[in-house]
Structure 1
Amino acid sequence: MDYKKLALSEKLNIIRAGVLGANDGIIGGAGVILGMTGATTNNAVVFVAGIAEMLAVAFSMASGEFVSVSSQKDTEKAVVAKAETLLATQPSTVHDEIAIHYEKRGADPRLAARVADDLMKKDALVHYVQIKYGIVVGKYLSPAHALIASFIASISGGIWPLLSVILLPESLKVIGTILATLWALFLTGWLSAWAGRAPRMPAILRNIVTGVLTMAFTYWLGTLLQ
């Protein structure tokens, strides 16, 4: 897969799935680990819970993305098929809708009609579907791309809080998990903004704020179970 050659909609699909997967992996992993740390000092229990959560989230997010994007793709294909039928049975209706589209955007009615005439002569279905529904015929979102992006991002994000449990001594596990999680959230926000050519700071702040709130809440719940 050459990311640079993908359409914008497909790039956004990959970024969206990756960000969701990474955030779930990071925040879910940190939440479980901190919750378990607040409830028990048994390192083996905390580690097993972290591994189980990381894999469960990764597979859950990946399968959810695959099903969700597959449903969207099926809907887009159904819309195109409906438009194709309309074009074959009521071409004048399609022509009028195209003309009205350009009229609403400021074109003179006669000019809008001429544009509709030209578009009806070549790739009418492509133009009509894109104008009316914003769908590019033949270029649908890929469920496989969403699945892979979500799974890899979820594992990549969830491994950070887990590593802090494995590598750090008991006295530093909580603060280490928090710092590792904040770093992972920072990295996810920065990478998603970079990939989508969006402002970095809002994406980073969103990730960090939601992560801090989640960690604080889950750790508090864990202490209640002691």
Structure 2
Amino acid sequence: MTTPHEGELHGSGLNQRLNWLRAGVLGANDGIVSVASLVVGVAGATTDNAALLTAGVAGLVGGAISMALGEYVSVSSQRDSEKALIAKESHELRTMPEEELEELTQLYRDRGLSEETARRVATELTAHDALRAHLEVELGIDQDDLVNPWHAAMSSAIAFTLGALLPLLAILLPPPGIRVPVTFAAVLVALAATGAVSARLGGSKPMRAAVRLVIGGALALVATWLIGTLLGTTGVV
């Protein structure tokens, strides 16, 4: 028997947890970029702490709710689809068991098993738990580990909030003369870190992902700061 190579992922439960972790990192990244862009834009127009706090908190709360709602709707749709597929598979197993056994056998043949081995495996799994066997092999679904929209919504809201707190504190705590450079530095370092972490979780190169996020974040910050400066200079704000 071969031993799993170090660093490989095994099992749908582990993969799903990694997906949630990756989604959390991306949610934090959204919080960093969106709130940083907002408060830097306001800082370009005014040095008033009350205006900065109001803009930052409004962006944090609105963004967290938006992220939670979006994730809830998305994951609810996915869960509904999974439940519909489970119901369909249950019906097919009840109404045409022989055809389903042949289908499972073919799936194992397609994976490289011989006719005899595929038939034996399919028969034994069907006798043990036919529905579970079909869901896992045919559809990649674990009926005991369906996605939870409430967990997804809460995770997204928390991740966004944690990410958003960084630029909010970075713009409020330093003296007015250095708050924008401090925020730029804090945000770009945080984006590099989240880019590297998400890349490692996805198995890609951390440096490339970090550079992409840093460049994109820097462009967003410069653009909003210039807009805020322009509006503040012209007296629109």
Which TM-score bucket, shorter chain as reference?
Answer: 0.7 to 0.9
The answer to whether residue 147 in structure 2 is matched with residue 115 in structure 1 is: no
Match of 2:177 among 171, 189, 201: 171
Segments of 5+ residues of structure 2 without an aligned counterpart are 1-11, 233-237
- State the match for 2:55 in structure 1: 49
Shift of 1:153: 1.4
For normalisation by structure 2, the TM-score amounts to 0.82
Is the Cα contact below 8 Å between 1:95 and 1:117 reproduced in 2?
Answer: yes
Cα distance in structure 1, aligned partners of 2:34 and 2:119: 55
Q: Which moved more, 1:131-140 or 1:176-185?
A: 176-185
Match of 1:135 among 141, 165, 172: 141
Is the Cα contact below 8 Å between 1:62 and 1:148 reproduced in 2?
Answer: yes
Cα distance in structure 2, aligned partners of 1:135 and 1:210: 36
1:116-175 per-residue CA deviation (whole Å, 9 max, x = no partner) reads 222221111101111111101121112232222212211111111111221111110110
Cα distance in structure 1, aligned partners of 2:229 and 2:92: 62
Residues 210 and 20 (structure 1 numbering): CA distance in 2 closer, same or farther, change over 3 Å? same
Cα distance in structure 2, aligned partners of 1:143 and 1:202: 32
For normalisation by structure 1, the TM-score amounts to 0.86
Is the Cα contact below 8 Å between 2:109 and 2:115 reproduced in 1?
Answer: yes
Please report the RMSD computed on the Cα atoms of aligned residues, expressed in angstroms: 2.3
Cα distance in structure 1, aligned partners of 2:74 and 2:172: 35
Q: Structure 2 counterpart of 1:56, which letter?
A: G
Q: Which moved more, 1:66-75 or 1:79-88?
A: 66-75
Is the Cα contact below 8 Å between 2:25 and 2:197 reproduced in 1?
Answer: no
Count of paired positions:
221
- State the match for 2:20 in structure 1: 14
Name the % identity.
42
Is the Cα contact below 8 Å between 1:29 and 1:162 reproduced in 2?
Answer: yes
1:50-109 per-residue CA deviation (whole Å, 9 max, x = no partner) reads 111011111111222122212211211111111000000011221111111111122222
Is the Cα contact below 8 Å between 1:190 and 1:203 reproduced in 2?
Answer: yes
Is the Cα contact below 8 Å between 2:195 and 2:210 reproduced in 1?
Answer: yes
Cα distance in structure 1, aligned partners of 2:150 and 2:14: 17
Match of 2:219 among 177, 188, 213: 213
Match of 1:79 among 85, 91, 105: 85
Segments of 5+ residues of structure 1 without an aligned counterpart are 1-5
Match of 1:106 among 84, 95, 112: 112
- State the match for 2:6 in structure 1: none
Q: Structure 2 counterpart of 1:15, which letter?
A: L
Cα distance in structure 1, aligned partners of 2:96 and 2:228: 64
